[in-house]
Chains A and B, each alone.
Chain A
Amino acid sequence: MGERVGIEVSLAAAEAVKMANVDVVAAYPITPQTHIVEHLSELVADGELDAEFIPVESEHSAMSVCCGSSAVGARTFTCTSSQGLALMNEIVFIAPAMRLPIVMILANRSLSGPLSIWNDHTDVMSVRDCGWIQFFTENGQEAFDHVMFSFRVAENPAVSLPIMMNMDGFVLTHVIEPIEFWDQETVKQYLPDFEPVNRLHPDNPVTMGAFGLPGIFTEAKMAQDQALINSKAVILEAWKDMGDLVGRYYKPVETYHVEGAETVFLSMGSVGETVSLAVDQLRARGKPVGQVKLRLWRPFPFEEFREAVRGVKQMIVIDRAITYGGVGGPVASEIRSFLYLEENMPIITNFLCGLAGRDVTVEDYMAMFEKTEQMVKGKVRQEDYIIYGVRE
């Protein structure tokens, strides 16, 4: 196993991209993703990484370059945040339709306006339906490990889809954590060379990105949907193999103290660790509370999620994005509709919090639990969603 180093998570992620021996990096710097791209450009400039670093003029170009380089069979990486993701939006939807296994780190940041550089999930939720594999990391070690994981899953010929690794801006990108690096031999064992399913090459001409008439478009979308659904088997295998190699086993849905829990919190990303502390405190007071962390967001892990929340009576869903004028945050509205057909559907309360980096403390999560208890007991009216902590 490799050594354990204290390092900023962004730099560790960039080092992992280097160890994955990427061929092309095309990215435009944007806070809070900047340190990842800067470090990669340094690694290329210093000759430590033999790759093309393409300093594009915009994120739209970044994603376009990524599509081109992936199409010719180059291992391709990019990363962005918020407005950068918004600017590349057009091409973000095209990459999975063309089945191009690009790896992107999204350093989550709120979408403007008001102009904000701070962390929440409004950026990733704006592309919920873009067709990429999407998952969340909770700490620096997970971020490092999941760079290798991302290349392995995306480039697997049975998958051949782009993958978006979410990593909370600042909370993860800008903190220094102890991270156990992999050694190069382990990387080699885990990550095979990239052999694209289709490759743009003059010796074997093909057309990529052709138009699809109404007579074929529905079939094309069905094939794409199935590819994303089927990627789960490869995802599970990649996590299993990683566990066997480095000793850390990841799951699509992680649970914490769910045994006997009547109420569970549902969290995604780095807030999970704070929620766990709240669970500890509530358990200490004798409250049957647990936590479910959704790591894999697309494809949605239906079976694992159903299993994780079996027998639960109340669920407190934490959303870090707003669906204006809708029925709740994007996570809660999805969970509600998924569980609608289940027997004994739990009562779901939904708190929108931590927008644009606003701190959400252990006490805040305990307050959400209190509020949920009151709603469940009928003391206060149940609401579709509550924007938590807003000043009246």
Chain B
Amino acid sequence: MAKSELELSWKDLEVGCVVSEPGNASQYRTGDWRSVRPVWDTEKCIKCGVCYIFCPDMAIKKTEDGYFEADLYYCKGCGICAQECITGCITMVEEEE
């Protein structure tokens, strides 16, 4: 996307608001919506990957040592990972200003 949405004038829009660039949803920062953020306690984590599977936005990445963490560009803070984690090692913490 050349311009961000807020820079576009009505004349810049494609006819019918067609999105002519496939796959550009990856540029959409859903992390903006977040008010709480998941924090992992690797002490309790058994690396089962349940959080990874349940994240509705595929915002959880596997780290090099086999644990998991949220990609904060996309993580909306929905808390599903914390709810589903088997061992209760994910805590949702308030985002500070």
Residues of chain A touching chain B, judged by Cβ–Cβ distance below 8 Å, are 97-100, 160, 197-198, 205-208, 210, 212-213, 215-216, 218-220, 222-223, 226-227
Q: Are A210 and B17 within 8 A (Cβ)?
A: yes
Inter-subunit contact A207/B14 (CB<8 Å): no
**Cα(A197)–Cα(B16), bound, Å:** 9
Nearest residue in B to A210 (C-beta to C-beta)? Answer: B19
The distance from the CB of A88 to the nearest CB of chain B, in whole angstroms, is 19
Encoded as 1 (CB less than 8 Å from any A CB) or 0, chain B from 39 to 61 comes to 00000000000000000000000
How far apart are A384's CB and chain B's nearest CB, in angstroms?
A: 36
Find chain B residues with CB under 8 A from A218 CB: 10
**A213 / chain B contacts, CB cutoff of 8 Å:** 5
Q: For residue A266, give the distance in angstroms from its CB to the closest CB of chain B.
A: 33
CB <8 Å contact, B15 and A198:
yes
A219 to B17, CA, bound (A): 10
B91 CB to nearest chain A CB (Å): 31
Residue B6 is within 8 A (CB to CB) of chain A in the complex: yes
Task: Known A213-B5, A216-B5; judge A206-B10 contact (CB<8 A).
Answer: no
A215 close to B13 (CB less than 8 A): no
The 9 A-B residue pairs whose C-beta atoms are closest, nearest first, are A99-B16, A207-B19, A222-B10, A219-B10, A205-B22, A223-B10, A98-B16, A198-B18, A197-B15
Not counting A206-B19, A219-B8, a sample of 6 additional A-B residue pairs whose C-beta atoms are within 8 angstroms of each other reads A160-B15, A206-B22, A207-B19, A216-B8, A218-B10, A223-B10
Residues on B with beta carbons closer than 8 Å to the beta carbon of A212: 17
CB pair A219–B9 under 8 Å, yes or no, is yes
Q: Considering the chains assembled together, what is the distance between the CA atoms of A247 and B50 in angstroms? A: 74
> How many residues on chain B are close to A (CB under 8 Å)?
16
Residues of B within 8 A of A (CB): 5-6, 8-20, 22
Cβ contacts under 8 Å, A198 to chain B: 14-16, 18, 20
- The smallest C-beta distance from B69 to any residue of chain A, in angstroms, reads 28
B10 touches A226 (CB 8 A): yes
In the complex the two chains form, is B13's CB within 8 Å of A220's CB?
Answer: yes
Q: Is the CB of A207 within 8 A of B13?
A: no
Quick one: given A198-B16, A208-B16, A210-B17, are A223 and B22 in contact (CB under 8 Å)? no
B18 partner, pick from A207, A216, A226, beta carbons under 8 A: A207
Query: Is A97's CB under 8 angstroms from B19's CB?
Result: no
Closest to A204 in B: B20
| CB–CB B15/A215 < 8 A | no
- List 6 A–B pairs whose Cβ atoms lie within 8 Å, in order of A's numbering: A98-B16, A160-B16, A198-B16, A207-B18, A208-B18, A220-B13
CB neighbours (8 Å) of B19 from chain A are 206-208, 210
Cα of A98 to Cα of B14 in the assembled complex, Å: 10
Give Cα A218 to B14, complex, Å: 14
Considering the complex, give the chain A residue whose CB is closest to the CB of B12: A219
Chain A, Cβ-Cβ closest to B19: A207
Q: Is the CB of B17 within 8 A of A220?
A: yes
In contact, A215 and B6 (Cβ under 8 angstroms): yes
A130 CB, nearest partner CB in chain B, Å? 15
CA A385 – CA B8 in complex, angstroms?
45
